[in-house]
Homo-oligomer: A and B are copies of this chain.
Amino acid sequence: MHTFRLWAPLPKTVEVSLAGQKSVPMTRVAGGWWTVTSAAEPGCEYGFILDGGPPLPDPRSQFQPHGIHGLSQLVDHNRFHWTDKGWQAPPLSSAIIYELHIGTFTPAGRFLSAIEKLDHLVKLGVTHVELMPVTEFSGHHNWGYDGVDLFAPHHAYGSSNDLKKLVDACHARGLAVILDVVYNHLGPTGNYLARYAPYFTTRYAPTWGAAINYDGAGSDEVRRFFCDNALMWLRDYHFDGLRLDAVHAIFDSSAVHFLEQLKCEVERLETELGRHFVLIPESDLNDPRLLRSREQGGYQLDAQWSDDFHHALHSVLTGERNGYYSDFGGLSDLAGALRHAFVYAGKYSPHRQRVHGRSTEGLSGHRFLGYLQNHDQIGNRAKGERSARLMSLGRLKIGAALVLMSPFVPMIFQGEEWGASTPFIFFTDHQEPELAGAVRAGRCQEFAAFGWKPEEVPDPQARETFDRSKLAWGEISQAPHAEILEWYQKLIRLRHAEPDLTDGCMGDVQIRFDEQKHWLTLKRGAIRLACNLSAQPQAVPLIAEQGTETSDRTVHLPPDCVCIFKHGIQVA
């Protein structure tokens, strides 16, 4: 027997339709909810019939074996045999995060095949795996941001149990696991939520899809839906935290912002389960309110992605100045990012054409993720080129060194550690020809602004685009990949070994640079780094050990070269 419960204030009648059985009317109860108890077991497939229409997927479907338009499947979360009793995730302060996309991380592109590569991550020194969104989206492959069944792992990645096996296998190896969840919009097809209830609003007009109704009539249950989603991943799938996609597109004028409520509910689950969870928003707001304590009027989230640091670093290393990189490019921006996380903290942004951001004063570097690359920064390029394609080997090493010696929580994107030759291109697999065409055209239009011809932009709908984005693990032992991997391993070992590197103290990061000569030198406690970004060999002064104004030593560096010292001894 199973009790179906459904929030659906909009339809006048609701039936549950069990595959191969006569549909059963549900009973309306308080608050727009419906309920019925029926002879259904885990594994049963079902849909909801609203006002006599066709069976639709459950908004809280736990699994969609036939995709976004098909029936939902019951899952019993109590049947999985967990082996991670007593598991505690390492703290963010000592974390190295590894972002991966299930579909392209391994050739098979499944939850279970990912397990085979976990030992590589352990050997690399990673502490946290971050999965790009895994919820049911349209078609066979997708980055994941087109999810529409937000409680269901995608059927092409494996079963609900397979995902649990992956998390369990991570925990068995000491790896924490973070899941990327999208609470700002739903995908463009397969989204049936609006037929059930006021999940969406026209009060706000964000970039993608309809805005979610976080503050209008009926929003309590909408917020419940998303909070319950978060709690499910943490409780039933044993995830150690969530990455919250693009929270700047969550519009909520309530006196208690949805993100504050979410954090409070996650804290209650922490108390209940005796575990610790992290919430890591991606935010374009440069607003420390996301991180500040509730006493300071903040939402108290654990850490946020630090795009300013990425942009500052990327533009210095590549010389790129188009699009949002036009706001960056100087070594002073990079130095500012390393010391304050936000380069734009109340300063005019030419790209945004307005003053942007606010000071991070008092916040630890542990509250920011630092990265040379991530899925967006690679994949939002027309051709999905990684940093390894865009800069010399020397500069790639400089980039890795600055991320891994930074006061931030370092994050690596799958394959970055060996400078993977494969791109990570934007790919979709929409089944509706009209939508497929619109996505294709939109992609071409987006890059036309940067001078790309339509035929130069990979077709996001082509299977080849997806296949090309898969990691080529065979190359890992070849040149120059083996050398890059060794460099990453060395830097990560150093970070784990040196407490000065993980103290999170942005204010204590000492930096000197010469914008003209294009060198930069940095000191964090006993660790000193010097890099030469010019095309000429030159002497770079190390910052003095004792904090005096003058440097006590100068290192001669060839072009595009970085060295790291501890107490005067070169360690990398």
Interface residues of A (CB under 8 A from B): 202-206, 215-220, 248, 251, 253-256, 285-289, 292, 295-298, 346, 348, 352-358
Residue of B nearest to A292 (CB): B297
Q: Tell me the bound Cα distance from A220 to B215 in angstroms.
A: 27
In the bound complex, residues from chain B placing their C-beta under 8 Å from that of A206 are 203
CB distance from A184 to the nearest CB of B (A): 12
CB distance from A335 to the nearest CB of B (A): 21
Q: Are B255 and A220 in contact (CB under 8 A)?
A: no
In the bound complex, residues from chain B placing their C-beta under 8 Å from that of A251 are 253
CB distance from A356 to the nearest CB of B (A): 7
In the bound complex, residues from chain B placing their C-beta under 8 Å from that of A287 are 254-255
Residue of B nearest to A9 (CB): B353
CB distance from A190 to the nearest CB of B (A): 26
Q: Are B205 and A289 in contact (CB under 8 A)?
A: no
Q: Are B288 and A255 in contact (CB under 8 A)?
A: yes
Q: Tell me the bound Cα distance from A343 to B400 in angstroms.
A: 55
CB distance from A228 to the nearest CB of B (A): 16
From the candidates B218, B219, B297, B354, name the one contacting A289 in the complex (CB within 8 A): B297
From the candidates B254, B295, B358, name the one contacting A255 in the complex (CB within 8 A): B358
CB distance from A514 to the nearest CB of B (A): 30
From the candidates B255, B286, B295, B354, name the one contacting A216 in the complex (CB within 8 A): B354
CB distance from A286 to the nearest CB of B (A): 6
From the candidates B204, B219, B285, name the one contacting A354 in the complex (CB within 8 A): B219
Q: Are B352 and A217 in contact (CB under 8 A)?
A: yes
In the bound complex, residues from chain B placing their C-beta under 8 Å from that of A248 are 253
Q: Tell me the bound Cα distance from A411 to B113 in angstroms.
A: 70
In the bound complex, residues from chain B placing their C-beta under 8 Å from that of A217 are 352-354
Q: Tell me the bound Cα distance from A289 to B254 in angstroms.
A: 11
Q: Which residue of A248, A292, A354 has the most chain B CB atoms within 10 A of its CB atom? A: A354
Sorted nearest first, the 8 A-B pairs with minimum C-beta distance are: A297-B297, A255-B358, A217-B353, A255-B287, A219-B354, A220-B354, A296-B297, A255-B357
13 chain-A/chain-B pairs, Cβ below 8 angstroms: A202-B205, A203-B204, A204-B205, A217-B354, A219-B354, A220-B348, A251-B253, A255-B287, A255-B288, A255-B346, A289-B297, A295-B296, A297-B297
CB distance from A380 to the nearest CB of B (A): 20
Q: Tell me the bound Cα distance from A218 to B355 in angstroms.
A: 9
Q: Which residue of A217, A219, A287, A353 has the most chain B CB atoms within 10 A of its CB atom? A: A353
Q: Tell me the bound Cα distance from A253 to B248 in angstroms.
A: 8
In the bound complex, residues from chain B placing their C-beta under 8 Å from that of A354 are 215-220, 254
Q: Are A353 and B218 in contact (CB under 8 A)?
A: yes
Q: Tell me the bound Cα distance from A217 to B351 in angstroms.
A: 9
Q: Tell me the bound Cα distance from A248 to B203 in angstroms.
A: 12
CB distance from A226 to the nearest CB of B (A): 14
In the bound complex, residues from chain B placing their C-beta under 8 Å from that of A219 are 354
Q: Tell me the bound Cα distance from A549 to B297 in angstroms.
A: 37
Q: Are B346 and A286 in contact (CB under 8 A)?
A: no
Q: Tell me the bound Cα distance from A215 to B220 in angstroms.
A: 27
In the bound complex, residues from chain B placing their C-beta under 8 Å from that of A215 are 354
CB distance from A197 to the nearest CB of B (A): 11
In the bound complex, residues from chain B placing their C-beta under 8 Å from that of A353 are 217-218
In the bound complex, residues from chain B placing their C-beta under 8 Å from that of A298 are 297
In the bound complex, residues from chain B placing their C-beta under 8 Å from that of A205 are 202-205
* Additional A-B contact list (17), CB under 8 Å, known A215-B354, A255-B357, A292-B297: A203-B206, A204-B204, A204-B205, A217-B354, A220-B348, A220-B354, A248-B253, A253-B285, A254-B287, A254-B354, A254-B355, A255-B288, A255-B289, A255-B346, A255-B356, A255-B358, A297-B298
Q: Tell me the bound Cα distance from A217 to B296 in angstroms.
A: 28
In the bound complex, residues from chain B placing their C-beta under 8 Å from that of A203 are 204-206
Q: Are B295 and A346 in contact (CB under 8 A)?
A: no
Q: Tell me the bound Cα distance from A285 to B356 in angstroms.
A: 25
Residue of B nearest to A359 (CB): B255
Q: Tell me the bound Cα distance from A357 to B215 in angstroms.
A: 11
In the bound complex, residues from chain B placing their C-beta under 8 Å from that of A288 are 255
CB distance from A516 to the nearest CB of B (A): 27
Q: Tell me the bound Cα distance from A286 to B215 in angstroms.
A: 13
In the bound complex, residues from chain B placing their C-beta under 8 Å from that of A285 are 253-255
In the bound complex, residues from chain B placing their C-beta under 8 Å from that of A357 are 255
In the bound complex, residues from chain B placing their C-beta under 8 Å from that of A204 are 203-205
CB distance from A289 to the nearest CB of B (A): 6
